[in-house]
Structure 1
């Protein structure tokens, strides 16, 4: 016969396994810029990145619309990749897509990007990671010096307006 302590230990192990299997982090893994589950990078890998401008951070563009959570979240490398693509195209005086990205963000909504004041540019973010040629709802915003300003989304906003992502 099993002792009471070993029965409790067995039940706790079964419970912990079920929690891990059913956890939202496992059900909806964060994807990297290639659409694969994101693996945490070491400090050394990040320190090797170029030092140009303020690096991008993760953006949460999910909003509640009609009682349902809609939109996307992006890890920092995905946002950085889109920003880098926009900067690269801008330096070459090239554009991509029907809306000629990157292009200036004129801020008709009066959004506040505290670290950036002028020369704002926008470039699309792609739901599965990387830089998009066809615009979706989300954009990365950066300044003319290559500094990350933030992300914005059309999701949950009427018309063609934007709101800042978290």
Structure 2
């Protein structure tokens, strides 16, 4: 079970009458029991994924949107670490296995090819920067820690956009605009 405060859910009734469950998640940073020097959030993320299973009532038609602060990287690890990249990928794989499609936010392929990218980010990576440290200007943010997933019943109707420019806001994580065509 996830920690208190890591999941908030609401049911949204739309014009077609079928409700959509909207879920906000926060995957907390943890440390090894021996107090080792690293921190990780994939264990918290796996607990969140397990808890999300309770919202999946059919294989294909469930209507659930999940978003927010996963504190993971997508398709790579910090400083190019294959170990961390593989650990993070297991969370994305589990979300897909229970019927959730990754919906971004992401750059277009053309925009990804044109931008400068951090050395740790693989070529062709379409991630957008959603996180900055408190001391950084939003323009210097380099990592995406916030992701949107939607179940198969609505994923084709979801569009996302990171508000990572002047619209960033006061948080260390930028806001994400999620548009759902109902």
Q: Same fold (TM over 0.5)?
A: no
Of the two, which has the highest radius of gyration? Answer: 1
Give the TM-score taking structure 2 as reference length.
0.25
In proportion to residue count, which structure has more strand?
A: 2
